[in-house]
Amino acid sequence: MQQQYQDFAHAREPKRPIALNCIRAFLAGGVICTIGQGIQWFFITYFHFTEKTAGDPTVAVLILLSSLLTSLGIYDHIAQWGGAGTAVPVTGFANTITSASLEHKSEGLVLGVGGNMFKIAGPVIVFGVFAAFIIALISVIIKSLGGM
């Protein structure tokens, strides 16, 4: 009976336009990265940052813009159209954290906003730190073997 229902539901499920979704993700991610590159160029040109030092304020501005667009309800529409292309850059992470904060603000600042925001951010931060440690360890091992 369960298998019959699965077959019935699968037959009526709308087909996903995979190629179109890939193109949209590529375009959305590309536009976000192009905006980031423009912001970086702005910091380099008008505030005389170097290419290396312009990275941090660029990321901060992208996070601020993403959070602002999320709080205004605009980023969700962009993400629905662009799919994974909006989830991969740092703006997708900022969107996720801001959405969790807004969703749980009625529970209070500490338990609602803070607690639920870090339920999402915590695993990502831990994975990032762990991955960086492993990559650094591999790099040190490779360099030490090359020096022998």
- List the domain boundaries for the chain: 2-103
At 55, the amino acid letter reads: G
Using an 8 Å Cβ cutoff, are 41 and 63 in contact?
A: no
pTM of the model: 0.73
Tell me the per-residue pLDDT of 110-147, one tens digit each, with 9 for 90 and over: 777 777 777 777 777 788 889 999 999 999 999 998 75
DSSP state of 107: G
Q: Which of 89, 82, 76, 67 is nearest to 20 (CA)?
A: 82
For the stretch 96-101, contacts whose Cβ atoms lie closer than 8 Å and that sit 24 or more positions apart, written own/partner, are 96/120, 97/67, 97/121, 98/66, 98/67, 98/70, 98/71, 99/70
pLDDT under 50: residue ranges of the chain: none
